[in-house]
Amino acid sequence: MWQLIILIAVILLVYITSRLTGNKRIESTTNKIEIVKCCVCDLNTPSSESIRKGEYWFCSEDCVVKNDI
Ligand SMILES: [Zn+2]
């Protein structure tokens, strides 16, 4: 009986630690990425995937063209 309880305890411990380390990984990646808002369609995108024109950010080339019109 004790063996079963120890087994469940070990499984729970591994599950909890894996969840904790997983959350830390997500936090460290989100801290590096800056989210910017497209000034045409108000879509929030990472700055690495966005296009900057002066002080304005665009989510895609389509929005750059729309802003010029
Ligand atoms: Zn856009």
Domain residue limits, the chain:
1-32, 33-69
Residue for token pair 């630690």:
17
* Helices assigned H by DSSP within the chain: 2-32, 61-68
- Segment (H or E) for 45: strand 44-46
Does residue 22 contact residue 30 with C-beta atoms inside 8 Å? Answer: no
Rounded Cα distance between 63 and 6, Å, is 58
User: Ligand 1 center to residue 38 CA distance, Å?
Assistant: 5
Q: What is the pLDDT of residues 28-51, one digit of tens each?
A: 555 678 899 999 999 999 999 999
Predicted confidence at residue 21, as pLDDT, reads 80
Average pLDDT (41-63) is: 94
Give 13 Cα–ligand 1 centroid separation in angstroms: 45
Tens of pLDDT, residues 3-24: 999 999 999 999 998 888 876 6
Q: What pLDDT shows up at residue 1?
A: 84
Higher pLDDT, 27 or 19: 19
**Ion ligand 1, residues whose Cβ is below 5 A away:** 38, 40-41, 43, 59, 63
